[in-house]
Amino acid sequence: MRSPLDYLPVYFIAGTQDIVSGTLPELLEQALKAGVTCFQFREKGAGSIGEAEQRKVLAAECYELCQKYDVPFIVNDDVELALVLDADGIHVGQEDQAIEEVLRLFPGKIVGISCYNKEEIVAANQLKGISYYGIGPVFGTISKSDAKPSIGIKQLDVLARLAKRPSVAIGGISIETVAAIQETAVAGSAVISAITRSEEVNSTINKLKVGG
């Protein structure tokens, strides 16, 4: 099983609801060619696909692309979909399916969990089998209508240092702010709109790699 330090640096998250032009598979392949290190399929919220079979077909196409470029394919929150596809892993939030149950269902797979504060980090540190933590939102974000208040760079670093596993920063990260993220203890940055709304995807991903 590959190390989180290998797949967390440029972590791309998207679903159809995030796509401005073209299709999700088209943008995903462009991002994979440009060097994203992980992809999370997050089909959720207004504008997303509601029909389960259509969602599965799209997810399978994205998974095939990730396999082609040898990049981990992670499913957000949808345990059934992740199991059906035999995805590389799953990411869950604090309010999603109980993490103990998720860990039981995905032995030997990548399991990520969202953490917002010290209490959640400490609790996650006690669990065996978690691969990485997603910490944030660092900044304000347009990609989640129910996002919590931003924690900022300083608190991000505090939480990442408290974490016993590698972590990835998430929430409003852009090519202008990624350099500051890379100065903290996280292993990488997770982005949605920085890529989906980019007019020059290759350039954006290169800047996310090196810090703006």
User: What's the pLDDT tens digit per position in 39-85?
Assistant: 999 999 899 998 999 999 999 999 999 999 999 999 999 999 999 99
| Residues tagged active-site | 42, 114, 144
Domain that holds residue 31: 4-210
Q: What is the gyration radius of the CA atoms in the chain, in angstroms? A: 16
Q: How far apart are CA 206 and CA 54, in angstroms?
A: 32
DSSP lists the bridge partners of residue 115 as: 135
3-state class (DSSP) for residue 127: coil
**How many structural domains are present in the chain?**
1
For the stretch 102-157, pLDDT in tens is 999 999 999 999 999 999 999 999 999 999 999 999 998 665 656 689 999 999 99
Q: Any idea what the CATH number is for the domain that residue 122 is in?
A: 3.20.20.70
